[in-house]
Structure 1
Amino acid sequence: MSDDRDELAWDLLDAEVAYSCPGFDVRREEVRLPDGTETDFDYLSEPESVVVLPFTPDGNVVVIEEWRQAVRRVNRSLPVGGMEPEDDDREAAARRELREETGHEADSVAFLTSVEPANGVANSVLHFFVARGCTPTAEQELDHNESIRVDTTTLDVLREHIAERGIRDGRTTLGVLYYDAFGAEKS
């Protein structure tokens, strides 16, 4: 029998949730490194999330402006949210988050890519989608701790804000630049 285990892999000896709050946990693991050293490793553990690049029928992009307490400013970004148990799949989560955060619904949703944005300190996974034909159909359904206003802009203006470092949200920057480089059926 072959051993497919990578020589760089760590052995997990024990694990616990060191801290828990709505949205994420901090996990503490006791591990053994390849050289035999035993140590602790702490990381942020959170549900997978979806990021939506939503286009209106006329080609504008629906964006949100949201207060972000950690950096104490309003952040202009794409709609983003965690997957929930009632979501049938990632596309359903993308449609739900778009509707809840912006009040818009999409005619179509296409998968772009998945990334691990900070895999040295978190198990976060972001699934990026492009939504087309987005029209306002309902009121926002914000979580108790969300302060969001909805706006539209052009993709060119969004790119300019990224280039000028006016958008500092990594998920938005990555989503727009990935779409530009590799995106499905361009407008």
Structure 2
Amino acid sequence: MEIRDVPEKWPVLASEEKFRGHVISIRTDTVKMVDGKVAERDYVVHPGAVGVVALDEADRVLLVRQYRHPVGWRLWELPAGLLDHPGENPLEAAKRELYEETHQQADDWRVLVDLFTTPGGSDEAIRVYLARGVREADGEQYAREHEEADMAAVWADRAEVTRLILAGELHNPLTVAGVLALTTAISTNALDDLRPADAPWRQRPFLP
């Protein structure tokens, strides 16, 4: 059997939106199971997001520190953000987030890894890019607010960040997935094999 994730949608007999917020909504689907039985499944509907592993010539990655209210922690994270508009170009969204959160821009972009963050309870899909040739952005710095108002940004040694992830000191899923994927790509000499920045994204198709 081939080891590859494939899309598959079981019959939905009914679907009801139970809650709608600023970013997410919650739905209950009545689903026909593979054994013929029927069951209800509650899940979060999410617009999707992008993250950026910015890598410099000194083998450092760019991290930001942000308060996350649901878990009550400040987390070290990759620059990242929501796909704010239906059909938004994910690469352009990633460039925007790198600029807004760190005032940086990059010359070379590749797709590093795609993931579902919590596939048992949400349809949230995330694409993480690798950005190289990073430099200070043109123009004025973006005015941040809310959780981002006091956001710190640091360049951190990639090997040390990898060690901290494996030691259980870093918890953001984009950071964990992105940095470990980058470390794997470097250790296996696979950086040149990474997908181009405009590679198809089946989980969140971009419709221009």
CA RMSD of aligned residues (A): 2.5
Structure 2 residue 104 is the aligned partner of structure 1 residue 104: yes
Q: Which amino acid aligns with 1:12?
A: V
**C-alpha distance 144-107 of structure 1, shift in aligned 2 (>3 A):** same
Gaps in structure 2 of 5+ consecutive residues: 1-7, 194-208
More displaced, 90-99 or 136-145? 136-145
Match of 2:34 in 1: 34
Q: Percent identity, please.
A: 22
Classify the secondary structure of the residue corresponding to 1:106.
strand
**C-alpha distance 48-143 of structure 1, shift in aligned 2 (>3 A):** farther
Q: Equivalents in 2 of 1:90, 1:98: separation in Å?
A: 12
Give TM-score scaled by structure 1 length: 0.84
Classify the secondary structure of the residue corresponding to 1:140.
coil
Give TM-score scaled by structure 2 length: 0.76
Q: Equivalents in 2 of 1:88, 1:9: separation in Å?
A: 24
- Regions of 4+ moved over 3 Å: 56-59, 140-147
Match of 1:135 in 2: 135
Classify the secondary structure of the residue corresponding to 1:120.
coil
More displaced, 157-166 or 79-88? 79-88
Give the conservation status (yes or no) of the 8 Å contact 2:113–2:177: no
Match of 1:151 in 2: 154
Count of aligned pairs between the two proteins: 180
Q: CA deviation at 1:143?
A: 5.6
Gaps in structure 1 of 5+ consecutive residues: 1-7
Cα distance per residue 1:95-114 (max 9 Å; x no partner): 11111121211122111221
Q: Equivalents in 1 of 2:17, 2:101: separation in Å?
A: 30
Query: Which of 180, 183, 189 is equivalent to 1:177?
Result: 180
More displaced, 123-132 or 52-61? 52-61
Q: Equivalents in 1 of 2:178, 2:77: separation in Å?
A: 10
Q: CA deviation at 1:174?
A: 0.9
